[in-house]
Amino acid sequence: MLSYNFKYELKLLLRSKWIQLLSIILLLLFGFSGYNGKEKVAKRKAAITAAQDEVKKNDEMMLQLLDSIEKGMQVSASRWTLPTSPMAVGNYHPRVAAMESQSMAFIATGQADLFTHYVKPKVSGDDAALNFTEMTSPVQLLFGSFDLAFVIVYLLPLLIIAFSYDILSAEKESGSLRLLASQPIGIQNWVLQKLSLRFLWLSVLVIVALVITLFILEIAWFSMFTAFMLFISIVLTYMLFWFALAFLVNLWVGSSAKNAISLLGLWVLFVLLIPSTLNQVSTTLHPMPSRTLLINEMRGLKAEVAKKQDKILDNFLRDHPEYAINDTTQTRGFYHRYMASQQLVKGELKPVITTYENQLQKQQAWVEKLKWASPAITVQESLNKMAGTSTGDYDHFRKQVVVFAETWRSYLTPFLYNNQNFTQKDYPELPQFVFLPKPESKLHLVPVILLGITTLLFGIGYISSKKFEERTVLTSF
Amino acid sequence: MITTQNLTKKYNNQTALDRLNLNVGKGEIYCLLGANGAGKTTTINLLLGFIEPTSGNALINGLNVLENSKETKKFLAYIPENLMLYPSLTAIENLDYFSGIAGKKLTKQHLISFLKEAGLQESAFEKRITAFSKGMRQKVGIAIALAKDAKVLLLDEPTSGLDPKASNEFGQLLQKLSQKGVATLMATHDLFRAKEVATQIGIMKNGQLKEEFIANDISLTDLEKTYLVTMNYKEVAL
């Protein structure tokens, strides 16, 4: 039966205008979303390159100025901005801390439309106030990004539903099921074989669409073959999950209309309801401290410490005898007091920042734990992780930037307190930010677990429908 | 070949079939006559295993259809009132598909010979079923039975809606199959066709087999009279 089912199902598919239309839609969706993803990555890369070019240009000017100053020439620049001052270097010549895009970044925008990909931590800046959030169009945020992940997680299940909702009911409604059921075949097996062929057809279409898209967009997918194969296996097992649901609905429900509504209901449940409910519950269970309150608290603290900066500086110098100077011509200025007070503000704010980070981690852990409640969440999360655009990836980047900001500050602070000028020979020693991508998650387990869930669904459908027997299936029309 | 033993089907308190005992042997054509709701289609559904009997047994080739569902279906072919095939497949493809899933791997030459034997005009072999008349579809149905090498043929109102010529051709086909030893059970309203092709005729009413004849022992007129009397149409018709 298998070979005949496959042979003629394929013929029926190829001759169906509806299927042809769906296939073309699928190819277009993949092409368009792939293009969008590539454009976003290109934009991100361009923004980082522009920022790096700007730093390079500034550095050249800084070195020219330093050269002129070191040669005793007069320079026309404000005293505050002269690069001999370590604070001027730290504030006006910051390095770019960039989150380079990963090789698979084009598949999922993830959090990329919410967070910035580079920052320039300044020596006098606050780590907590480092702005990682980008101003984004609220309309775009509402509709999301039309990337491959969106097509796979949201639209592909709809195409699968259109492909499979009436496998059995169409036969019932056209009357051909009676003839089929009079043959020595099991209806469950027959439905399963029809669905298998449609799954294979759609899988081929998806793979072809992806390869064509990557080829046209000149994305070197072959160089990331392992990641690409993992991506394909996640997509295929996610598709299989929806085919398993279609199998159950075909056997359990009745008419084509009822099947379509049931499957759309499941789509709403798995793709919309469960993810939004989980998100809502996670923010209710582990609410984030208000960012406005954090900023207010920081401002209050700063105002308070500003009043007693002399005292703070004295205390700071007492704690740092290495900065003691015996030369009476040397003085302590604004930045000495400011940097000392910054240390205090940082210490005071630490509990609030820690609470913020803890809550964020708790939220992420909660979602991570319950992501299996909906394969849509699992797949979206996995694709974001593969693309390096997940919440975890941005958190990982943020932490690296905070560490780098401290390194930047630590490098320049001794210059300040030792009243030492920054020179050309110090330039090569300036700390540089090197982005380390988040270590790869164990994503290879995702297709395995999805396959397990799918097998379970197929098993339930198979065993329970055996109880009905085809007699009951047939008499339901 | 086709046997029912006290075959009974009840839906809640309503009896659709009441202790039916039938026996259709090799090469015999048994026509079940009766009004709508008499129990003819229920009998066929029970023999196909589509529904479970409340009591009694339905046997095909000596095998209980409930216990040997797949095995019994290997022996039988079924043609419903409206034989629905796959409209986007051609006649040959439909025949290849249905005989294939029934376990018969046939060459194109064999498939063509069965379609020819079923009386389908050659120009229609490679045409899609969409444009086929009911009579042409019934011929493909017979070709499926031939291809399956069916020993038992179950027909549910196969001639209803056919024009006299097509109905006559269909009757001739049944007789050809009968000569090959196929046992046929045909539910029909068509008294004339029943008299023409049947070896035995039964009249059903309210789920019961009320009358049974050897077809050659009764004239068409007597058959009609008996049918109307059985159906309580006596006052109207006679």
The rounded percent of chain A whose pLDDT value lies above 90 is: 29
| Preferred mutation among B70, B97, B127 to probe A, highest tally of A CBs within 10 A | B97
Lowest mean pLDDT among A69-78, A109-118, A268-277, B223-232: A109-118
Least confident of A197-201, A300-304, B219-223: A300-304
Asked whether the predicted pLDDT for residue A13 surpasses 60, the reply is yes
- As for how many domains chain A has, the answer is 1
Out of B50, B77, B86, whose CB is closest to A176? B86
How far is residue B218 from each of residues A166, B196, B224, B232, measured CA to CA in Å? 49, 11, 10, 20
Burial bucket for residue A151 (CB in 10 Å: 0-12, 13-18, 19+)? buried
Q: Given pLDDT bands bounded at 50, 70 and 90, which one contains residue A253?
A: confident
Average pLDDT over residues A218-243: 87
Structure confidence at residue B236 (pLDDT): 45
**Contact (CB<8Å) B50/A179:** no
Instruction: For residues B178 and B198, give the distance between their C-alpha atoms in angstroms, rounded to a whole number.
Output: 10
How many CB pairs lie under 8 A apart between chains A and B? Answer: 79
**What's the average model confidence in pLDDT over A151-158?**
94
Q: What is the per-residue pLDDT for A142?
A: 56
As a whole number, mean pLDDT of residues A179-193 equals 86
Tokens of A281: 């519950």
Looking at residue B96, what is its pLDDT?
Answer: 94
Token output for B15: 């009896």
Q: Under an 8 A CB cutoff, do B52 and A471 touch?
A: yes
In a domain, A72, yes or no: no
Instruction: Tell me the β-bridge partners of B163.
Output: none
Would you say residue A330 lies in a domain?
no
A161, A198 Cβ separation under 8 angstroms: no
Whether B88 and A182 lie within 8 Å, measured CB to CB? no
Query: Which domain does A172 fall in, by range?
Result: 2-30+147-284+448-475
Query: Angle, nearest 10°, between helix axes A391-417 and A334-370?
Result: 160
How far, in Å, CA of B88 to CA of A13, rounded? 10
CA dihedral over B190, B192, B195, B198, signed as positive or negative = negative
Which of A186-195, A234-243, A270-279, B145-154 bottoms out in mean pLDDT, i.e. has the lowest? A186-195
Chain A residues touching residue B100 (CB < 8 angstroms): 1, 3-4, 7
* pLDDT score of A392: 86
Does residue A195 fall inside a structural domain?
yes
Question: CB–CB of B8/B18 below 8 Å?
Answer: yes
Q: At residue A31, does pLDDT exceed 70? A: yes
> What's B39's DSSP letter?
S
The values of phi and psi at residue A160, to 5°, are: -65, -40
Nearest CA in chain B to A177: B84
User: B-chain residues within 8 Å CB-CB of A16?
Assistant: 88
ipTM computed for the complex: 0.89
Q: Is A296 exposed, middle or buried (0-12, 13-18, 19+ CB in 10 A)?
A: exposed
Structural contact between residues A95 and A83, judged by C-beta atoms closer than 8 angstroms: no
For the ranges A199-203, A212-216, A389-393, B4-8, which has the lowest average pLDDT?
Answer: A212-216
- By the CB < 8 Å criterion, does A184 face chain B? yes
Comparing A284-293, A383-392, A441-450, B212-221, the range with the smallest average pLDDT is A284-293
Domain-embedded: residue A243: yes
Q: Which residue in the set B77, B84, B101 is minimally distant from A4, CB to CB?
A: B101
DSSP character for B32? E
Above 60 in pLDDT, residue A128?
no
> Has residue A189 been placed in a domain?
yes
Q: Which of A429, A389, A398, A388 is nearest to A412 (CA)?
A: A429
Q: Which two tokens stand for residue B89?
A: 């497949």
**Percent of chain A scoring above 70 in pLDDT:** 90
pLDDT mean across residues, chain B: 89
Residue A268 lies in a domain: yes
**Residue B235: what pLDDT?**
45
Per-residue pLDDT band at A476 (split at 50, 70, 90): very low
Q: Which helix (H) or strand (E) holds B177?
A: helix B164-179
Indicate whether A42 belongs to any domain: no
A136 touches chain B (CB under 8 A): no
pLDDT for position B237: 44
Give residue-wise pLDDT tens across range A348-361: 777 877 887 788 78
Q: What is residue B90's three-state secondary structure?
A: strand
Run of H or E residues at A65: helix A17-70
Which residues of B fall within a CB distance of 8 Å from A175? 80, 82, 84
**Neighbouring C-beta atoms of residue B132, cutoff 10 Å:** 21
Q: Which of A314-323, A424-433, B49-58 has the weakest average pLDDT?
A: A314-323
A12 shares contact with chain B (CB less than 8 Å): yes
Closest CA to A374 of A252, A235, A277: A277
Q: How many of the other CB atoms lie within 10 Å of CB of A345?
A: 20
Q: Take residue A221 and report the two structure tokens written for it.
A: 């997918």
Residue A314 lies in a domain: no
Confidence of residue A327 (pLDDT cuts 50, 70, 90): low
- Chain B residue numbers touching A474 (CB-CB < 8 A): 50-51
Burial class of A290 by CB neighbour count within 10 A (0 to 12, 13 to 18, 19+): exposed
Q: How confident is the model at residue A131 (pLDDT cuts 50, 70, 90)?
A: low
Amino acid B60: pLDDT: 93
B197 contacts B222 by C-beta, under 8 angstroms? no
Distance from CA of residue A315 to its chain's centroid?
44
pLDDT exceeds 70 at position A472: no
Distance CA A345, CA A302 (A): 7
